[in-house]
Amino acid sequence: MLEVDDVTIAIVNYSCLLGAWLFWGAIGYFIATKRGIRGITGISLSILLGPIGWLIVGVFMRSRLRQCPHCAERVKEEAKVCKHCGRDLPPKLA
């Protein structure tokens, strides 16, 4: 028979799991956006794989950022104009 306490414990466990997922997802999002990868990719991998997802996003996925040759700031690979110094960037290297 299901006691009230069992239900409470189940709800608390479920909330913890949900909280952990949100926490993992937030970290994944942070790592992904830092490396110029879409946030949703970081969130999905983190929720599915946990810390392994962080590792994939943080280490194994190729960063989509490159360095501006004029001001040395990091800009997106696809960018044609640097958002920091406003100068034209050379075309993406293959």
Q: Which residue ranges make up the site for Zn ion (CB under 5 A)?
A: 68, 70-71, 82, 84-85
75, 83 Cβ separation under 8 angstroms: yes
Q: What are the two backbone dihedrals, phi and then psi, of residue 7, each rounded to the nearest 5 degrees?
A: -65, -45
Considering the complex, state which of residue 61 and residue 66 has its C-beta at the smaller distance from Zn ion: 66
29, 42 Cβ separation under 8 angstroms: yes
Q: Rounded to the nearest whole angstrom, what is the least distance from the CB of residue 65 to Zn ion in the complex? A: 12
Helix axis angle for 39-49 and 4-34, nearest 10°, is 140
Considering the complex, state which of residue 40 and residue 71 has its C-beta at the smaller distance from Zn ion: 71
Q: Rounded to the nearest whole angstrom, what is the least distance from the CB of residue 67 to Zn ion in the complex? A: 9
Considering the complex, state which of residue 5 and residue 91 has its C-beta at the smaller distance from Zn ion: 91
Q: Rounded to the nearest whole angstrom, what is the least distance from the CB of residue 34 to Zn ion in the complex? A: 19
* Six token digits for residue 66: 């490159």
